Each structure stands twice: as structure tokens, then as C-alpha cells.
DNA sequence: GTGGTCTAGACCACA
DNA sequence: GTGGTCTAGACCACG
């Protein structure tokens, strides 16, 4: 799993880390049930503080993406089912992103194509795992 | 033009304001060449600080969405053409959003349908401008 | 508002603090919309670290008990409506508490009386505020 | 006797175990004088460490709920009489639980009804012991 | 002046 | 060895 952090970015490190892990899960780089690195290891590897990693893991746990087991550390949860709250947030987020695309002159077709490509880039590893 | 701000939201007010204006432009509530309210007026209407509105306008100007003329105030720019930088950012943003959708169990079809709906909700006013 | 922390207790300080604030709200010592102390002030008053107070406030915010406004600090939210998730947790909690009472030989009547007394001790200040 | 442990829960396993046993006693699944499983057996059945079970038993012994006899293992103690210390702790616990219920908008009547239901679900087996 | 973030290093409970 | 908590002090974004 490759995680890239940008320390000059205004997005907090723990949020960047959370985002990278979310994408790693979706792309299959981290599969269901797989163990995440320990807080200490990851912090050292990335050259950041334990508590920063801790915060990212706590966020992922709270969102239901991972579970933290006192005995064996953190592991990836199974896929959830989409709830109403998430759909609302998703529509709000997309509304903004699509507005920007619209203003910047991007056609609907091109936008949809990009979405498809991203979707298709995910979980390529899943079938191979069987 | 209706602008909704949530002072308890973690998103900075000036960013919320910027987002609302971007969406207003995309939906045609603000058309090309249309004059934006003065900083002073908007700040008063919304009950926020002048500096906050100023910051939002500066952001929009820097992004090329509006022009600021000292004599005539701010006005909406024409549609841009999508540049490489924007496409990169868009792909990054979408990559995260789609990853979350994926993990939360949303199917590609449903996601695409939502995007279509949002696209279709835009620019209803545009034809009237011709 | 009087907050008592026990530094020798095994319950984390931020949880104790969270609990004390919850009880203060329920008893009317903190009324709806009332401003909480700033993180720094409270931390200094209690002789604890900013981040510990921060964590307690974040927990209360996440639970929906307070809102944090970037401009004016934290304030108490209006009463919520009980959701299913809460009722489940409540039943689990009560199941344990009542089991202990049962084993320790406490009669149902006595238990119910204690509950009533606690209920009646709350929000005495509310009507006076009008 | 059915014991459910959640390894991903933040509550320590030995505390969960202790809680489950307390509830089992109160519900009559474990009756007075009944022998508890040996530490070794229970640990194996639950797939946990001997020390964890040991810790739970020690806690129960210290609280007076069970007795541990080196020759005959652990057995459930007779019902106690409520002491002052317990009542204090009970009131503190209830104060917090009821405060949360209050803030979450639960009415006193509904709360009391839940308590009654839980009380009535207990000791169904008790009369058979006579 | 407010909360948000981050660090470096420490101690503790758990299993 | 794991995560959880806490400290003292720092810097930053926001308004």
C-alpha cells in the first residue's frame, strides 16, 4: 500500500491519511479483513506523530470503514450498505464538483467518461484473490 | 440568488460562500456578465464580516470564475475551457468521492444516475440568455 | 457550573468531563443555546491540557449535544428526539445496571424510586428562566 | 449460559465477560450456589486468554458476587443486601444515564416503562429453585 | 481570541 | 507489543 502525504497542503495530515486509506480500500489495495499497519509503524514510516495516525484511524473507525481490535490492531470492515445520510452528503458533494466542471466548460459526456474510468479502476484485484 | 451559510459547519464560511456562488453560476442563477452584489452589501445581508466576503470573492477571482473591476464591482466571467490542472484536480476529487461510494456499497449505475440528475438540473436558465 | 474531575479514577478525564457536561445540561445548569467556556479557559480552570478539553468537546459535538461555531465557540444544542440506536444502547446499559441492583438485593420499588428522584431533580431551573 | 463477547468493542474483554456473568446471575441463568466453568474451560470455549477470564473472576469475587474455592472452583454467592457504597455508585451511574435520556428527549414515563420491562424479564427461573 | 492541528515523548491498560 | 490517554507548548486558519 502506497500512501502519499503532502505536508504543504492545507488539508490536515490526518484527513489526507484517512482519504488515502479510503481510496486504498476501494481500489482493493487493502481488502476486507486485511490488517492495517500498527499506529506506531505507520507513524514512523510516514515520519509523523502517533497521535496523527491515531486520529485518522479513529475517524475511519467512527465512519465504519475499519474496526479496531485491542488484541490485533485495526482491520478493514466489509462493505456497508448506503444509508440516507450518506446519499445526502454525496449529492451535496457532487453538486459542487459538477458545478465546477460545468463552469469550466466540461461536457457532461466527458465527465461521465471520467467517472466510469475511475469506477473501472477499482477492485481489479478482487477477482484475482479468489 | 439564495445563499445558505451554516455557521456551525466545519467548512470555513468564506469557502461555503465561494461554493454557493459557484453552484449559483452553474445553475444559471447568476448568468455570464451578471454583476455580483458589492462586498459590503453581501456581508450585511448575510450578517458576516466584510473580510469574509472579500476572501470568497478573491478566491473566485483567482480561480477565474469572476472578474473584479474597481469601478464596476465583480461580475461573472464567461465559461472557461477545461485546462489540464483542473482535470487533474477533478480526477483526484472524484477518485475520493467514488471510493467512498464504492465502500458504502453504492453501485456504479446508481452513482451515474445521480450525476446525470445533477447535470440535468443545471443551466435551465441558459437558453433564455440567447 | 461546577465540574468535578477525579484524576485517580480509571475513567479518562475527557470522558469524565463529557459526562459532567451532559449532566449539567440535563440538570439545567447549562441551558439550551448557552455558551460553554472556551477550551483554553476550561483547560486552565481544571488544570488540564487543551487537547483533553478539545477531545471532550469533540465527543459532545459528535453526539449532537453541542455545536461548535468557529466564531463564538461552543454552545448547547436544543433537545433531540430519541432515535432507535440510542434506545438500544439505553436498554443495554440499563440491563446491566438493573442486574447489579437485583443481585445486590435491591427491590424494584426502591430502584424505581431512585430513578424518579433523579428525574425530578432535573431542569428545576427551566421554568424559572421564562 | 450464553456469553457474547465483542472483540472490536472498546470495553475491555474482561469487563464484558464480568458484565455478562452479572446479567446471567440476575436473569437466573446462573443460580445461587451454582458452579461457574473453570477458568481454563471458559477461556478455551471463548477463544480468549486464561488471564482474561481470571481477571473477570477476580473482579466478580472482589465485588462479592462469587466465591472462589481452590478445591471446587468458583460458585455464585447468595443475594447480598444493598450497602451504602453500592447505592452511591448506583445513583451516580443512573444520574448519567438519565441525564442522557433527558437530553435525548425521552420522557420519564417511557424511561420507567423500560426499567419495569427489564426488571420483569429477570429471575424467571428463580421460583423453580424453591 | 477562537478552535484546529501537530509534535515529541511519556505512561498506562489490555491481552 | 497493541492502542488509549495525557502533557506542554507550538503554529495556523478563521473571522
CA–CA separation, C114 and C104 (whole Å): 15
Residues of B in contact with C69 (CB under 8 A): 7-8
> From the CB coordinates, do chains B and C have 3 or more pairs under 8 Å?
yes
Phi (first) and psi of residue C18, to 5 degrees = -55, -45
How are beta strands B66-69 and B73-76 bridged, if at all? antiparallel
Sign of the CA dihedral with C20 first, then C22, C26, and C30 last: positive
Which strand F nucleotides have any atom less than 7 A from protein CB atoms?
1-10, 13-15
pLDDT at residue C1 in the model = 78
Angle of helix D50-62 versus helix D13-27 axis, rounded to 10: 50
Q: Do C67 and B8 touch (CB under 8 A)?
A: yes
Q: Do A67 and D12 touch (CB under 8 A)?
A: no
Å from the A73 CA to the E5 C1': 25
pLDDT score for B130: 39
Alpha helices in chain D (DSSP H): 13-27, 39-46, 50-62, 84-103, 108-120, 126-129
Nearest protein residue to nucleotide F12 (CA to C1' distance) is A10
- B23 falls in which pLDDT band (50, 70, 90)? very high
Backbone angles phi, psi at B128, to 5 degrees: -65, -20
The tally of CA atoms less than 13 A away on the side-chain side of residue D1 is 21
Q: How far apart are CA C61 and CA C54, in angstroms?
A: 10
Rounded to an integer, the average pLDDT of D74-88 is 92
Neighbors of chain D with 3 or more C-beta pairs under 8 Å: A, C
Share of residues in chain A with pLDDT > 70 (%):
95
pLDDT digits (tens, 9 = 90+) for A51-97: 999 999 999 999 999 999 877 899 999 999 989 999 999 999 999 99
pLDDT in tens, D23-39: 999 999 999 999 999 99
> What dihedral angle (degrees, nearest 10) is formed by the CA atoms of A86, A92, A98, A103?
-170
Q: Supply the pLDDT for residue B31.
A: 93
Q: Please list every residue in chain B whose beta carbon sits closer than 8 Å to the beta carbon of residue A124.
A: none
The pTM for the full model equals 0.91
Contact C6, C16 (CB under 8 A): yes
- Alpha-carbon distances of D127 from C26, C76, D29, D123, rounded to whole Å: 40, 49, 13, 8
- Residue in chain C closest to D17 (alpha carbons) equals C96
Report which of residues 41-60 in chain C place their beta carbon less than 7 angstroms from any atom of strand E.
Answer: 41, 50-51, 54, 57-58
- CA of C48, C1' of F6: distance in angstroms: 9
Best probe of the A interface among D8, D10, D48, D51, by most A CBs < 10 A, is: D8
Contact C73, C38 (CB under 8 A): yes
Question: Whole-number Å distance, CA D112 to C1' E1?
Answer: 46
| Facing B103 at nearest CB: one of A80, A105, A111 | A80
* Rounded average pLDDT over B6-35: 95
Distance CA(C14)–CA(C46), nearest Å, equals 11
Q: Evaluate the CA torsion angle C60, A20, A61, A63 in order and state its sign.
A: positive
Instruction: Tell me if D97 sits within 8 A of D1, measured CB to CB.
Output: no
| Whole-number pLDDT of residue A10 | 93
pLDDT digits (tens, 9 = 90+) for B77-129: 999 888 899 999 999 999 999 999 999 999 999 999 999 999 999 876 544 44
pLDDT at D124 over 70: no
Check C23 against D105: CB less than 8 A apart: no
Closest nucleotide (C1' vs CA) to A72 is F2
User: How many angstroms separate the CA atoms of C20 and C23, rounded?
Assistant: 5
Collapsed DSSP state (helix, strand, coil) of residue B76: strand
Residue C71 Cα, gap to closest chain B Cα (Å): 8
Q: Are A29 and A123 in contact (CB under 8 A)?
A: no
Instruction: Give the range among A116-125, C71-80, D28-37, D77-86 with minimum mean pLDDT.
Output: A116-125
Q: How far is the CA of B17 from the C1' of F7 (A)?
A: 38
Q: What φ, ψ does residue C72 adopt, rounded to 5°?
A: -125, 15
Do you know the residue count of chain B?
Answer: 130
Mean pLDDT of D83-101: 95
Helices C50-62, C13-26: inter-axial angle, 10-degree rounding:
50
Instruction: Measure B73 CA to F10 C1' (Å).
Output: 41
Rounded Cα distance between C110 and C101, Å, is 10
| C83 grid coordinates | 432515535
Inter-chain CB proximity B104 and A81 less than 8 Å: yes
The whole-angstrom separation of Cα B47 and Cα B39 is 12
Flag residues of chain C having pLDDT under 70: 124-130
% residues pLDDT > 90 (chain B): 84
For cell 451532559, the residue is C22
What pLDDT shows up at residue D130?
Answer: 39
Res. D1: pLDDT tops 80: no
Q: Which chain D residue lies closest to C104 (C-alpha atoms)?
A: D80
Distance linking the first and last C-alpha atoms of chain D: 20
Only one residue has cell 491540557, namely C49
Give φ, ψ of C30 to 5 degrees: -120, 120
Q: Which residue of D has its CA nearest to A71?
A: D7
Q: Would you say residue A128 has pLDDT above 70?
A: no
Instruction: Answer for the pair D97, D118: CB distance below 8 angstroms, yes or no.
Output: no
CA distance B29 to B3: 11
pLDDT of residue C93: 97
- In the three-class reduction of DSSP (H, G, I as helix; E, B as strand; rest coil), residue A69 is classed as strand
Residue D31: half-sphere exposure toward Cβ, Cα within 13 Å: 8
Calculated CA dihedral for residues C85, A35, C15, C124, nearest 10 degrees: -10
Contact C79 D105 (CB under 8 A): yes
For chain C, list residues whose CB is within 8 angstroms of any CB belonging to chain D. Answer: 19, 22-23, 25-27, 65, 79-83, 86-87, 90-91, 93-106, 108, 110-112, 114-116, 118-119, 122-123
Q: Can you tell me which residue has its alpha carbon closest to the C1' of nucleotide E7?
A: A49
Through-space separation of residue D80 CA and nucleotide E7 C1' in angstroms: 52
Q: Compute the distance between CA of residue D53 and CA of residue B83 in angstroms, rounded to an integer.
A: 64
In this predicted structure, the answer to whether residue D126 has a pLDDT above a threshold of 60 is no
Amino acid at each position: 500500500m502506497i500512501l502519499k502525504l503532502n505536508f504543504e497542503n492545507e488539508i490536515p495530515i490526518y484527513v489526507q491519511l484517512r482519504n488515502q486509506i479510503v481510496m486504498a480500500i476501494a481500489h482493493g489495495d487493502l481488502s476486507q479483513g486485511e490488517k492495517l499497519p500498527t499506529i506506531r509503524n505507520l507513524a514512523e514510516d510516514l515520519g509523523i506523530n502517533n497521535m496523527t495516525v491515531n486520529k485518522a484511524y479513529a475517524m475511519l473507525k467512527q465512519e465504519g470503514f475499519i474496526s479496531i481490535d485491542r488484541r490485533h490492531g485495526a482491520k478493514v470492515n466489509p462493505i456497508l450498505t448506503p444509508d440516507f445520510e450518506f446519499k445526502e452528503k454525496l449529492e451535496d458533494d457532487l453538486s459542487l464538483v459538477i458545478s465546477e466542471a460545468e463552469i469550466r466548460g466540461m461536457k457532461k459526456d466527458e465527465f461521465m467518461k471520467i467517472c466510469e474510468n475511475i469506477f473501472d479502476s477499482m477492485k481489479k484485484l478482487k477477482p484475482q484473490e479468489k
